[in-house]
Homo-oligomer: A and B are copies of this chain.
Amino acid sequence: MMNQRIDDKIIDRLVEISGEKSVLTDDIERYLYDETEELVRPEADKNCVVVRPSTYEEVSKILQAANELGFSVLVRGGGTGACGAAIPTKPSVILSMEKFNKILEVDKVGMMVTAQAGVSLFQLNEYLDKEAHELYFPCHPGDEGAHLGGIAVENAGGVRAVKHGIMRNYVKGLTVALPSGQIVKLGGKLLKNNMGLDLMHLIVGSEGILCIVLEVIFKLHPRMEYTGAMVASFNNAEDAVNSVVATQISGIVPLAVEYMDRDIAVKTAEQISGNWPMNDDGKVDIIYMLESRAEDELYEMAEKIDEIARENGGLDCVIAESKKDQKNILDVRSAIYEVFKPIFVDSLDAAVPVCHINDFLKDIDEIADKFATTSPRVGHVADGNFHNFILRSEDGSTPDWADEMRRDIYTAALKYGGTVTAEHGTGKTRKAYLDMQYPREVIDIMKNIKKAFDPNHILNPGVVVD
């Protein structure tokens, strides 16, 4: 039933619900792909129609129609995902959240924001900067075009997860449309809620297969007056990792701790016409982002990080004194993905326990040797999460061995009790590896949970376990 074509009957119904202007049948290319790597992403089915509802009631009616007429609904946020969850692989009604773009409330007392799911991260950050400057939203997955609903259902991570955690820690309330069309509120402006099973935390990370998120309530944090960035360089990955571990154990809590192969940093810096502050012989750089209520505490942290780095073989340590220098470092980190995208097939997202990072990185190097390639990487090192690149062939194509290499790396991560995907999500591109990580019975439970929410399988077909 769910493979049925999107025909005039369906389109007529959508027009009836949302009006002609809100239903697009032509020029819908920009709704068909997300940020998933070109050589990895599935092909989009062109038999799609885009509907852009303006009210929650319209969303309910579209879902009711989907159950009645038997069509698939694919929820479209900012299109910044990296697991193909937003690419229609079957004929689908693409339900774009773009009109749900209102920030509804910033609660300065409880430090929470309530916003519609289609608000972008950029929009939120800009709003807070201007209207509630004392507060900010630390979580920062790469692309600020991401919608708030999207980063909630994808349980996004990003560089700033070290101090305040991943998205799950920020999500306090969700207003969702269940697949039946009923709209319900889960959680709230609450720091604690133990009533019933926690469906909200199940929805976080569920990639849109359980319901459509209409509104989010996110925790905000007081903006710290003093921020800083510094880079420490090392001869090799092992020294760098050991230094990061020692810093964490010392009780210092940076906002972010990022690992970069020097080659990647330098090449990226060249591309964005910036320059990279490190010019020693190091092979690996670690970026620290710091924040503090007090200036002297910031400097004390920086000094301590420097000291620990040197104790662990650190070569040099550069503190970005000016806002401009800080920005340059962060811009380089942010640009890596775009700069390297044309030369890699896939950017992996495995994570391992922190105590096994060095073993895992050595395994990856050996695996790369086996395939006579290299695997450049950046990573959220304090989280044990690395984005290793599988490089393209010289002619730009996918090497024959790409999937074998990918599976070898996943096998290595899982051997250490790791995970295939730490933050980018399962979606459509990592679904095939689900049984490497979970036994059949666990996957079956996930499938039955999907069924408990969405008995007719109308939402986001083909994602995670559907």
Pairwise interchain contact A110-B354, C-beta atoms closer than 8 A: yes
Pairwise interchain contact A441-B202, C-beta atoms closer than 8 A: no
* Chain B residues within 8 Å of A134, by CB: 249
* Contact bitstring A195-230, B, C-beta under 8 A = 1, else 0: 111110110111000000000000000101000000
4 additional contacts, CB 8 Å, given A185-B417, A193-B351, A196-B446?
A: A155-B194, A190-B418, A191-B422, A192-B351
The complex places the Cα of A430 from the Cα of B195 at a distance, in Å, of 8
A residues bordering B, Cβ < 8 Å?
Answer: 107-112, 134, 154-155, 157, 161, 165-166, 168-169, 173, 178, 180, 182, 184-186, 188-199, 201-202, 204-206, 222, 224, 245, 248-252, 293-294, 297, 300, 349, 351-355, 380, 382-385, 417-426, 430, 433-434, 437-439, 441-443, 445-446, 448-453, 464-465
Pairwise interchain contact B249-A108, C-beta atoms closer than 8 A: yes
Pairwise interchain contact A194-B424, C-beta atoms closer than 8 A: yes
* Chain B residues within 8 Å of A453, by CB: 445
CB<8 Å pairs between A and B, sample of 7: A178-B442, A194-B349, A194-B425, A195-B421, A198-B206, A252-B293, A297-B297
Pairwise interchain contact B161-A191, C-beta atoms closer than 8 A: yes
CB distance from A359 to the nearest CB of B (A): 12
The complex places the Cα of A419 from the Cα of B190 at a distance, in Å, of 8
Pairwise interchain contact A202-B206, C-beta atoms closer than 8 A: no
- Neighbour of A423 across the interface among B194, B382, B421, CB < 8 A: B194
CB distance from A397 to the nearest CB of B (A): 28
The complex places the Cα of A276 from the Cα of B294 at a distance, in Å, of 33
CB distance from A174 to the nearest CB of B (A): 12
Pairwise interchain contact B201-A204, C-beta atoms closer than 8 A: yes
* Chain B residues within 8 Å of A434, by CB: 195-196
The complex places the Cα of A248 from the Cα of B178 at a distance, in Å, of 35
The complex places the Cα of A110 from the Cα of B357 at a distance, in Å, of 10
Closest to A453 in B: B445
Q: Counting chain B CB atoms within 10 Å of each CB, which of A111, A193, A352, A423 scores highest?
A: A193
Give this chain's copy count.
2
Q: Counting chain B CB atoms within 10 Å of each CB, which of A445, A464, A465 scores highest?
A: A445
CB distance from A170 to the nearest CB of B (A): 11
CB distance from A404 to the nearest CB of B (A): 20
Given A169-B165, A245-B109, A439-B184, verify A445-B351 contact (CB < 8 Å). Answer: no
The complex places the Cα of A104 from the Cα of B111 at a distance, in Å, of 39
* Chain B residues within 8 Å of A191, by CB: 161, 166, 351, 354, 382-385, 422
Pairwise interchain contact A196-B443, C-beta atoms closer than 8 A: yes
* Chain B residues within 8 Å of A165, by CB: 169
CB distance from A249 to the nearest CB of B (A): 6
Pairwise interchain contact B188-A353, C-beta atoms closer than 8 A: yes
Pairwise interchain contact B464-A197, C-beta atoms closer than 8 A: yes
The complex places the Cα of A204 from the Cα of B142 at a distance, in Å, of 29
* Chain B residues within 8 Å of A186, by CB: 442
Pairwise interchain contact B184-A441, C-beta atoms closer than 8 A: yes
6 closest cross-chain pairs (CB), A and B: A448-B452, A189-B353, A110-B354, A222-B251, A192-B422, A109-B355
* Chain B residues within 8 Å of A161, by CB: 191-192
* Chain B residues within 8 Å of A110, by CB: 353-355, 384
Pairwise interchain contact B190-A353, C-beta atoms closer than 8 A: yes
Pairwise interchain contact A422-B198, C-beta atoms closer than 8 A: no
Pairwise interchain contact A194-B419, C-beta atoms closer than 8 A: yes
- Neighbour of A384 across the interface among B190, B441, B442, CB < 8 A: B190
* Chain B residues within 8 Å of A422, by CB: 190-194
Pairwise interchain contact B155-A198, C-beta atoms closer than 8 A: yes
* Chain B residues within 8 Å of A248, by CB: 111, 222
Closest to A198 in B: B205
* Chain B residues within 8 Å of A245, by CB: 109
Closest to A135 in B: B249
